[in-house]
């Protein structure tokens, strides 16, 4: 197939991306897909790209070059940074790259929970990661996913470092989640975790 032209209007970007993905699924050539997507988005209107890429959110190979272009064009918008950082994370791009983008997104929009989640995930040190999740849980107290991550990380720190304070944090956080749980299987799983932690001898 012939290469796409270097400039695409907002109307033909979705079709060009769809054609690139079809060819990739047929031939499996990742390098060709990346080159083609970069060429499609290079001069395309940045505001047309999110909707054009929406059908391919399960393909980081498409999301990354598209959202690199969007972030470049919209450096003061947090959500594109979060989407790009998440795609980087899924492809194992590295905690430093993910953390830097998440940090930028947090500063642009302190209310973006996705930015805070990725900022916490990107921390490689277990205790520092636990402390970051604690900050996220305190900032967004209704965020059960953040509190579950806090409990899991606190339990890991307690086990690795024989830290009774981290153990207490894990138990208290799991108990809070148990009090809010609506499904029986979820409550049972939390009860098992709490009983196991309470049985630890540090």
pLDDT of the residue at 201: 84
Q: How far apart are CA 47 and CA 51, in angstroms?
A: 8
Q: Where are the alpha helices (DSSP H) in the chain?
A: 13-27, 30-42, 49-53, 60-73, 78-90, 95-108, 113-121, 126-139, 144-161, 164-180, 184-198
pLDDT of the residue at 9: 52
> What domain range is 201 assigned to?
130-202
pLDDT of the residue at 202: 75
Instruction: Look at residue 113 and tell me if it is in a domain.
Output: no
pLDDT at 1 over 70: no
Instruction: Look at residue 184 and tell me if it is in a domain.
Output: yes
Range scoring the smallest mean pLDDT among 3-7, 76-80, 158-162, 179-183: 3-7
Instruction: Look at residue 164 and tell me if it is in a domain.
Output: yes
Q: Do the Cβ atoms of 3 and 36 come closer than 8 Å?
A: yes
Instruction: Look at residue 155 and tell me if it is in a domain.
Output: yes
Where does the pLDDT of residue 76 fall: very low under 50, low under 70, confident under 90, or very high at 90 and above? Answer: very high
Here the contacts of 180-188 (C-beta below 8 Å, separation 24 or greater) are 180/144
Number of structural domains the chain divides into: 1
Instruction: Look at residue 79 and tell me if it is in a domain.
Output: no
Instruction: Look at residue 198 and tell me if it is in a domain.
Output: yes
pLDDT at 16 over 60: yes
Instruction: Look at residue 41 and tell me if it is in a domain.
Output: no
pLDDT digits (tens, 9 = 90+) for 26-53: 999 999 999 999 999 998 998 899 999 9
pLDDT at 3 over 60: no
Task: Determine how many CB atoms are found less than 10 A away from the CB of residue 136.
Answer: 21
Instruction: Look at residue 77 and tell me if it is in a domain.
Output: no
What is the residue-wise DSSP string for 157-197? Answer: HHHHHT-HHHHHHHHHHHHHHHHH--SHHHHHHHHHHHHHH
Mean pLDDT of 126-145: 97
């Amino acid at each position: 197939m012939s290469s796409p032209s270097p400039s695409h209007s907002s109307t033909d970007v979705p079709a060009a991306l769809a054609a690139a993905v079809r060819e990739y699924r047929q031939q499996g050539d990742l390098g060709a897909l990346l080159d083609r997507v970069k060429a499609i988005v290079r001069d395309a209107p940045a505001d047309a790209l999110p909707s054009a890429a929406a059908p391919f959110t399960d393909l980081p190979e498409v999301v990354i070059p598209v959202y690199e272009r969007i972030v470049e064009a919209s450096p003061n918008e947090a959500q594109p940074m979060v989407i790009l950082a998440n795609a980087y994370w899924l492809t194992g791009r590295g905690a430093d790259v993910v953390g830097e983008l998440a940090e930028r997104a947090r500063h642009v929009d302190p209310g973006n929970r996705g930015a805070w989640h990725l900022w916490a995930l990107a921390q490689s040190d277990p205790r520092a990661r636990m402390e970051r999740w604690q900050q996220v849980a305190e900032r967004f107290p209704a965020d059960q996913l953040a509190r579950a991550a806090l409990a899991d990380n606190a339990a890991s720190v307690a086990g690795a470092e024989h830290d009774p304070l981290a153990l207490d944090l894990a138990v208290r956080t799991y108990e809070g989640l148990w009090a809010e749980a609506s499904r029986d299987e979820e409550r049972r799983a939390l009860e098992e975790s709490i009983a196991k932690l309470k049985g630890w001898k540090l």
